[in-house]
Structure 1
Amino acid sequence: MIRTRAARFRRGIVFVLPGLWVLVVVLWELLSPLGTQFIELLAATPAIACAGTGRRQCVLLGGLCALLALVPPVPSGRVGASGRLGTCGAVLAVVVASYLISSRTRRLNGELERAREVAVTAQTVLLRPLPPRLDGIALASRHVSAGEGALVGGDLYEALSTRYGVRVLMGDVRGHGLPALGTAAALLGSFRDAAHDEAELPDVLRRLERALHRHVWDRRERGTGGAARDRWDAEEFVTVLLLEVRADGEVMALNCGHPWPHLLPGDGPRPIVLAPGDPLPPLGVFPLPAELSPLPLIRLLPGDVLVLHTDGVEDARDAAGAFFPLARALAEAARDAPPALLTLIARVQAALLRHTGGPVADDFALLALRNERGPGPQAAARPPRALVAGP
């Protein structure tokens, strides 16, 4: 409410600024004891209106106010007829120039708005909103891009309901913002096909690796060549976390250099960092091994929440250089029992932005999923798992 009132006040000041300028110039001319002529400053009125609002009507109104101010009460002795005539001509010239500039600015703003709408639509299609529920699994996600003018960047995620279970992708392309969009698009497109086509999770990962190699090759062929191109190829990589939530709640995982997820058990608010093993190197650094076996991550019981994230979350720093305490933020965000997923993610995002105290330096993404299926015969007890407890 306070911000809305402040914005309205600023808009009101901008609209009346040309009139205030005319009033100040006229009073200055009348009250100045030095005999100096300031009436020529009225010629700036249309330019002020153009800069303030950019509307052609305001430019014309500002010019009219300036012309009317040239009519007495300004004494003829202080401003002669030639001075008034010259000032009048200057006002008219500035009105014409400002009117043309305003028309061009309005046209360019319209084109910019249309381009922004196209960009928003394209980026939304690329990183489309997740459905609130897939095959009994509730979902919620948030993404913030560090690139100016980009809604999405190097972080990517997707969740799909397939005949093999709910398959989830969380990834992080080297770099951030608009330059990373091409790689993110290639991987997301490949995952959306492979998740339905491939019966085994390792085959999905191999499809992602091939998509990355094709994308890098295409960019290399279209590039300028030379050492810079070779250096870019060597540095192009993506961290990937692939999950498969099966019908009994068992979650299988393949991890290529990505942070492991956090678990919020349904029977307690303390977050747990799942660590079933060492991750593989990121995609693009080394070829995938010939033998790939998914790791059993956890059996997700009804009410359990799994929180996936990119490294932009835990790597976020405050002014003193301290890293963002994700586990503590999750514990505070999950103070409600059970927490709404959208509320949980929004609280963590707000805590992260408070921690950084300004714009983020890297993209970050959060994805939470909760098992809302009924208890099954194989999900009666939580099996042992390798994990590291969060603080």
Structure 2
Amino acid sequence: MIRIRALRLPTLWGAPAITYKPACSLAGQTSRGARIATGAVFFAVGTGLVLRVRRTLLRALRQARRVGGAAQSTLLWPLPPRIDELNVAAAQLSAGRASSAGGDLYEVIPTEHGVRVLMGDVRGHGPEAIGTVAAVLGSFREAVHDEPELGRVLRRLDRALARHLRGRPPVEQAEEFVTVLLLEIGRDGEVRALNCGHPWPYRLGESGVEPLDRAEPLPPLGPFPLPADLPAVRHGELRPGEVLFLYTDGAEDARDARGRFFPLPDVLTEAVRSGATSPQAVLGAVFTRLLRHAGGSPPDDVALLVLGNERHLRRPPQARQAAPHPTTHR
């Protein structure tokens, strides 16, 4: 029915052009005026058809973006500003495509094992990416409460992705992958991580801006099997006042009009020097500079997640000095 209705108007516009020459005696004349009239008829018909097709495509594009945005907002739940004494800020920006449904995903969940964080990037966009995001996020939201070890959480994600891709052609299965970064932040601030092909986050603090780790991550989930042993790697503590900045590679890959990549470490350093210490302030500073650098729309999807330890240092109580009692003179 939709296809028939879509073809109705082009048919109505094209019918006059097709029947014009056999039905109109003016079309068979070779005089200059007749040729001008014939050209005007075909120009009007062609212009009307192009404008109508353009309007139809724009309407379909807006509808696809609304559907994609609604689907993604259903999967990426809004994060509260505080989670288990951690300050949280997040933002997601889809590239200018036919659908605003991107492949970036993130989640922060407090558990009895600590606050567990997922940051990932699915290859591709559109409905296929939405399905993969749903499979990975759904598995993570369940596994973080069941599995005491971060490595077992990662295996659950890998199995969920394999089940989701089952039934697709072998070529598509080989090309599909998901980069995943898993973090676990204990109540004492200790940070543990497992990284499968994702950019390492940055740690922001008094010592400046530095990557959480510089080691080569594991391969992304999908094309390669996970190693037999998956111990979570310790990365020190997230001290009070420090911030972890997580992101997808669309942030660093964004280019300006001259083709220069977005200088994310420099922007983070400037944000810290300007006094942006809270996750909300850091996120706002980076997001503003990113949009300005990319001219308002980055070429790839971008997701940013900022976690800050807002716990105050617990200082030992100072011994109170007894105030001297006033001396009464008689």
TM-score by length of structure 2 reads 0.72
Matched, 1:344 2:293: no
Matched, 1:126 2:75: yes
Out of 208, 213, 228, the residue aligned to residue 290 of structure 1 is 228
Aligned partner letter, 2:138: G
Residues 75-86 of structure 1: pairs in structure 2 closer than 5 A:
none
Give the match for residue 235 of structure 1.
175
Contact 1:145 1:176 in 2 (8 A): no
Give CA deviations for 1:161-203 in whole Å, capped at 9, x if unaligned.
Answer: 0000000000011123444111111100110000111110000
Out of 245, 248, 265, the residue aligned to residue 188 of structure 2 is 248
Out of 217, 225, 233, the residue aligned to residue 279 of structure 1 is 217
Residues 57-136 of structure 1: pairs in structure 2 closer than 5 A:
120-136=69-85
Distance 2:231 2:273 in 1: 36
Distance 1:276 1:295, change over 3 A: farther
Give the match for residue 125 of structure 2.
176
Aligned partner letter, 1:208: L
Matched, 1:371 2:320: no
Distance 2:135 2:151 in 1: 18
What's the offset of the Cα at 1:350?
A: 1.6
Sequence identity, in percent?
55
Distance 2:314 2:101 in 1: 38
Distance 1:317 1:113, change over 3 A: closer
Out of 360, 373, 376, the residue aligned to residue 298 of structure 2 is 360
Aligned alpha-carbon RMSD (Å)? 2.6
Out of 315, 326, 336, the residue aligned to residue 253 of structure 2 is 315
Give the match for residue 152 of structure 2.
203
Distance 1:343 1:119 in 2: 29
Contact 1:155 1:176 in 2 (8 A): no
Contact 2:194 2:232 in 1 (8 A): yes
Residues 127-206 of structure 1: pairs in structure 2 closer than 5 A:
127-146=76-95, 148=97, 150-206=99-155
SS at match of 1:143: strand
Contact 2:71 2:130 in 1 (8 A): no
Contact 1:130 1:139 in 2 (8 A): yes
Specify the structure having the higher radius of gyration (Cα).
Answer: 1
Q: How many residues align?
A: 260
SS at match of 1:271: strand
What's the offset of the Cα at 1:120?
A: 4.3
Which runs of no fewer than 5 residues in structure 1 stay unpaired? 1-50, 52-100, 221-228, 378-391
Contact 2:114 2:184 in 1 (8 A): yes
Contact 1:271 1:331 in 2 (8 A): yes
SS at match of 2:166: helix
Aligned partner letter, 2:264: L
SS at match of 1:370: strand
Distance 2:178 2:67 in 1: 27
Give the match for residue 325 of structure 1.
263
Distance 1:310 1:350, change over 3 A: same
Which runs of no fewer than 5 residues in structure 2 stay unpaired? 1-47, 316-330
Richer in helix (by share): 1
Distance 1:114 1:360, change over 3 A: closer
Distance 1:276 1:297, change over 3 A: farther
Q: Which has the higher contact order (CA 8 A, sep 6+)?
A: 2
